[in-house]
Copies of this chain bind each other. A is one copy, B any other.
Amino acid sequence: MLQDDFGRILREHGLKKTKQRVLVLEALSSCGDKHLTAEEIYEIVKAEFPEIGLATVYRTIQLLLELNLVESVQLGDGYARYEIGKINERKAHRHHHLICLECGKVISFRDDLLDELEKRIKESVSFQVINHEVKLYGYCETCLEQKRRIEEEGTCTAFGGAS
Contact = CB atoms under 8 A, between A and B. Distances in A.
Count of identical protomers in the assembly = 2
Nearest to A144: B128
A76 interface: yes
A140 B116 CA distance: 19
Contacts of A107: 125, 127
A76 B71 CA distance: 12
Contacts of A19: none
Contact of A136 (B100, B118, B136): B118
A157 interface: no
Nearest to A113: B117
Contacts of A144: 126-128
A38 to B, nearest CB: 14
A109 interface: yes
A111 interface: yes
A90 to B, nearest CB: 20
Interface in A106-160: 107, 109, 111, 113-114, 116-118, 120-121, 125-141, 144
A133 B73 CA distance: 13
B132 A137 contact: yes
Interface of A: 72, 74, 76, 98, 100-101, 107, 109, 111, 113-114, 116-118, 120-121, 125-141, 144
Given A118-B136, A128-B139, 17 more contacts: A74-B74, A100-B127, A107-B125, A113-B120, A117-B134, A125-B141, A126-B140, A126-B144, A127-B144, A128-B144, A129-B138, A130-B137, A131-B138, A132-B137, A133-B134, A133-B135, A133-B136
